[in-house]
Amino acid sequence: MSGTVELTKENFDQTVADNEFVLIDFWADWCGPCKQFAPVYEKAAEENPDLVFAKVDTEAQPELAQAFGIQSIPTLMIVRDQVAIFAQPGALPEPALTDVIDQARKLDMDEVRKDIAAQESQGQGQGQGQGQQSSGE
């Protein structure tokens, strides 16, 4: 499969559930950096035919953009085994996109799931800002 898949709220869950590795480009037609990133993304899709490269038009699919807290576009997100492992706004240059894909391929998803479980068991206190400090010292 070459090229990119257009994600909508109707096919998003199914696409992520059916594929082990999905890259998602959140974009809009009026966005200059999005248009600059598009050929880089398309080239990466051609060079990685084993991965699913998807696009979410934030104008046509505002619910998806809102569900993922997309603040600026373009934003690249990578989902592996239904876990979002990477999300970064900004148009990545080709070498950076290639590097991100390589790093995402090398991730040990068992370790990622263990880390997520550990964070959840800690009550999600870390990474949520400085608001909640544990009392008892």
Residue 6 token pair: 């257009």
Domain ranges of the chain: 4-121
Residue found under tokens 């559930």: 17
Q: Return the number of other C-beta atoms located less than 10 Å from residue 96's C-beta.
A: 14
Burial of 87 (0-12, 13-18, 19+ CB in 10 A): middle
Whether 33 is a known active-site residue: answer no
Which residue among the candidates 7, 16, 23, 31 is catalytic per the annotation? 31
Pairing of strands 75-80, 52-57: unpaired
Give the per-residue pLDDT at 53: 97
pTM, rounded to two decimals: 0.84
Whether 34 is a known active-site residue: answer yes
Give the per-residue pLDDT at 93: 95
Q: What angle do CA 76, 81, 85 make, to 5 degrees?
A: 35
Q: How far apart are CA 7 and CA 26, in angstroms?
A: 10
The domain made up of 4-121 has a fold known as Glutaredoxin (3.40.30)
Q: Which residues of the chain have pLDDT under 70?
A: 1-2, 124-137
Beta-carbon contacts of 65 under 8 Å, excluding residues fewer than 6 positions away, are 26, 56, 58
Give the per-residue pLDDT at 125: 52
Q: Which of 62, 60, 87 is nearest to 74 (CA)?
A: 87
Give the per-residue pLDDT at 75: 97
Which residue among the candidates 34, 51, 54, 97 is catalytic per the annotation? 34
Give the per-residue pLDDT at 123: 75
Judged by DSSP in three states, 131 sits in coil
